Amino acid sequence: MNKGPVISVVVPVFNEEPVIMESYRRLTAVMAGLGEPYEIIFVNDGSWDASAEIIGGLTERDAGVALINFSRNFGHQSAITAGMDYARGRAVVVIDADLQDPPEVIPAMINAWRAGSDVVYGKRISRQGETFFKRFSAAVFYRLLKKMTGFDIPVDAGDFRLIDRKVCNAMKSLGEKNRYIRGLISWVGFKQSAVEYARDKRFAGETKYPLKKMMQLAMDGIAAFSYKPLRFATTLGFIISLLSFAYIVVVIYQRLFTDTTITGWSSLIGVVLLTQGIVLMTLGLIGEYIGRIFDETKNRPVYIVSEIIGGGARDSHME
């Protein structure tokens, strides 16, 4: 029986042609230094550059490298999900391909794991080479989410983390389609600890998270872990109804007991537009949740694999 790797490293890749060789080099240097069997699983999330060819070349030279090709781009969180599904190690490390999360931090994570932690997340004490907007929006978002969910999703931590086999299995048992991984990992619980690190700038290439994807991820995070936005809609509706009721009393009083002429078309239209805006906004908010219910009921897979290359005893593992 093949004993299999002790550590699996999962690397989501989306058009990372200029960084892959360097990622591989630095990852391998770190992992080889540990002196234990490991595997590196590159999940190619529908790249249209030469990422797949480059990694394919690596699988030929290095039996410890596996490549999972998706049939199209399914997104970062789906790529991580696939990596976790295929990983065989007793611990699984998830790390970005662009070297913003330094592989050299992995040994510290493994030490914390050996010392008894089931989840070791990388906490960013600084972020380099990212725009002020990104840093600011991330800082606000993580804190907002923490407030809204009421359970402990660590702030300033991305998906760079190590999880124990039992956490990985727990993650695999969750059928959610909208995967906000860092939230789910907190949700499953277990013993969590942090390793602090400085986030570097990208080794090469551009961010694959434009504003639209960032917003999507943020909304996934909130909608998957909190009902507060819905409650907010209820509260808002309640307050507005109360105010309107009070105003109606005033209007009736004016009509019956004073001879104030009816003025104020503009205030009327103002109120109408305001309430319409709020109604549409809350409808949209409800729609966000309904859309997610829709996704869940369709029960489509989170990703579709077109092929798996390399990775040694991969077949026996998959039965």
- Choice from 75, 89, 103, 312 touching ligand UDP (CB under 6 A): 75
Q: Which residues from 99-128 bind ligand UDP, rule CB under 6 A?
A: 100
- Choice from 208, 217, 233, 312 touching ligand UDP (CB under 6 A): 208
User: Angle, to 10 degrees, between the axis of helix 165-173 and the axis of helix 76-86?
Assistant: 120
- The alpha carbon of 267 is separated from its chain's Cα centroid by a whole number of angstroms, namely 44
The reply on whether position 209 binds ligand UDP by CB under 6 A is yes
Residue pair 99/203 in contact (Cβ under 8 Å)? The answer is yes
The reply on whether position 186 binds ligand UDP by CB under 6 A is no
Quick one: tokens of 306?
């077109």
The reply on whether position 164 binds ligand UDP by CB under 6 A is no
- Burial of residue 61 (number of CB atoms within 10 Å: 0-12, 13-18, 19+): exposed
Stretch that binds ligand UDP, among 29-37, 94-102, 162-170, 285-293 (CB under 6 A): 94-102
Stretch that binds ligand UDP, among 71-79, 160-168, 226-234, 279-287 (CB under 6 A): 71-79
Residue 10 Cα distances to 43, 83, 92, 278, 292, angstroms: 7, 5, 7, 43, 27
Quick one: tokens of 76?
């970062």
The reply on whether position 73 binds ligand UDP by CB under 6 A is yes
Q: How far is the CB of 148 from ligand UDP (least distance, A)?
A: 21
Edge-first strand listing for the sheet containing 38-44: 192-199, 119-127, 157-164, 91-94, 7-13, 38-44, 65-70, 305-310
Quick one: tokens of 140?
């606000």
Q: How far is the CB of 199 from ligand UDP (least distance, A)?
A: 8
Which helix (H) or strand (E) segment is 155 a member of?
Answer: none
Q: With CB cut-offs between 5 and 8 Å by kind, which of ligand UDP, Mg ion, none does residue 13 bind?
A: ligand UDP
Stretch that binds ligand UDP, among 56-64, 92-100, 175-183, 300-308 (CB under 6 A): 92-100
Q: With CB cut-offs between 5 and 8 Å by kind, which of Mg ion, ligand UDP, none does residue 76 bind?
A: ligand UDP
Q: By CB under 6 A, name the binding residues for ligand UDP.
A: 12-14, 16, 45, 73, 75-76, 79, 96-98, 100, 207-209
Q: By CB under 5 A, name the binding residues for Mg ion.
A: 96, 98, 100
